[in-house]
Structure 1
Amino acid sequence: MSQKKKQRLVIRTIILVVLIAAVSYALYNNLTKDSRKALKVGDKAPDFVLQDMNGQKHRLSDYKGKGVFLNFWGTWCGPCKEEMPYMVDLYKEYKQQGVEILAANVGESNFLINKFIKSYDLNFPVLVDKSKDVQNAYGIDPIPTSFFIDSSGTIKKIVETTMSKEDIQNLMESIKP
């Protein structure tokens, strides 16, 4: 066998092994997805630390004593674009009543996030989960997903769909300290 044929055989074998590993991982991940611990209403919200777009760190546990509306979103997400103006409007009122909004973007570039912030005039902390560690800890799928967390850190409601302004307002009322 010539040297070139041996090299091609080795390269093809490596590619085949990588493909088999990727398919196996995908199958395993999908088959075990339901057995992994999913967060539910009544659970303690997992603590995390994420930076906002100004480099300031936000730790969920620092908001103890306040209600927290934790929203996972993306700039490409149509329902997210629909909800953001409601969140902006309600934040002004509810921040004074002890309810914070933390909007966690999942894995996008600062350029896209900043463009979105300016377009929607966001007035609440926009956190960046570039590594998607927090997204994974919270089991986020699909986006948008929102967690309404009371002042003791307990999850009171999980919403995995688009919300109306009234929905958001009622849920923010329910987590006021």
Structure 2
Amino acid sequence: MKTRRFIPLAFKNTPFRTRRFSSRARRKNAGIVGYVKFLQRSYRRKDARPEWGILDRKRYILWAALCALLLSSAAALAIPRFGGKDINGKEHHLSDYKGKMVVVNFWATWCPPCREELPELAMFHDNHKDKDAVVLGVNFEQISKSALKAFLDDQMIDFPVLPMFPAQGTALGRIVALPTSYIVSPDQSSIKVHVGPLTNEDLMRYLKSFQ
């Protein structure tokens, strides 16, 4: 079975007591499952509190998972205003594509798994842009527009790509790894987050989940 890869942007080692319940701990792992696994690993550390019993630890993990689930569900309902100018100067906004699934893909030219998924994204965009889905790329790195344009021409990428410096941040959320994709539902009522490279099979599964 092929292992999915992604490139971490900022992983920091911090003491157990300072990272408990912190956003830093959540940023260190992608998704709710990863966060719960992180908590489980933390309990096996020698600096975890020995006076806590097994039952208390299980309740703690369950409570943390429930909180993370509620937070993610609440965030999914609030679709932020996101958009900007592509490499050719044309404006693109999520609202322009209402009625279609939008794949907002954050990537960089230096990221091997990002380059690996670009042909899949391009093929999906070409097959669905006139029907039910589009891809909106976001180049997330410090690179000149001329160098980016040359890269896109060389890779024959024709879906819109918005240049964005990491220091700018993003209205969709904090990017902790590349590639990261935000899958916006056609009615723009919810967003799903996919960390790691996407395949055509993944994209079709997301598309069917909204139908």
TM-score by length of 2: 0.60
User: In structure 2, what is the equivalent of residue 13 of structure 1?
Assistant: none
Aligned pairs for 1:58-137 (under 5 A) are 58-109=92-143, 110-130=145-165, 132-135=167-170, 137=172
Are the counterparts in 1 of residues 105 and 136 from structure 2 also a CA contact under 8 Å?
yes
- Bigger shift: 53-62 or 134-143? 134-143
Number of residue pairs the alignment of both structures matches: 147
- Bigger shift: 115-124 or 68-77? 115-124
User: In structure 2, what is the equivalent of residue 33 of structure 1?
Assistant: 24
Q: Secondary structure at the match of 2:178?
A: coil
Structure 1 residues 40 and 164: CA distance shift in structure 2, 3 A: same
The alpha-carbon deviation at position 32 of structure 1 amounts to 4.6
Q: Which runs of 5 or more residues in structure 2 are unaligned?
A: 1-13, 28-67
Q: Which runs of 5 or more residues in structure 1 are unaligned?
A: 1-26
Larger radius of gyration: 1
Structure 1 residues 74 and 150: CA distance shift in structure 2, 3 A: same
- Calculate percent identity across the aligned residue pairs: 30
Deviations 1:82-129, CA, capped at 9 Å, x for gaps: 100011111111112221110011133213311221121112101111
TM-score by length of 1: 0.70
User: In structure 1, what is the equivalent of residue 204 of structure 2?
Assistant: 169
Are the counterparts in 1 of residues 121 and 199 from structure 2 also a CA contact under 8 Å?
no
**Runs of 4 or more above 4 Å deviation:** none
Inter-partner Cα distance in structure 1 for 2:107 and 2:131: 24
Counterpart amino acid of residue 43 in structure 1: L
Are the counterparts in 1 of residues 177 and 195 from structure 2 also a CA contact under 8 Å?
yes
The alpha-carbon deviation at position 43 of structure 1 amounts to 3.0
How large is the Cα RMSD of the aligned pairs?
A: 2.7
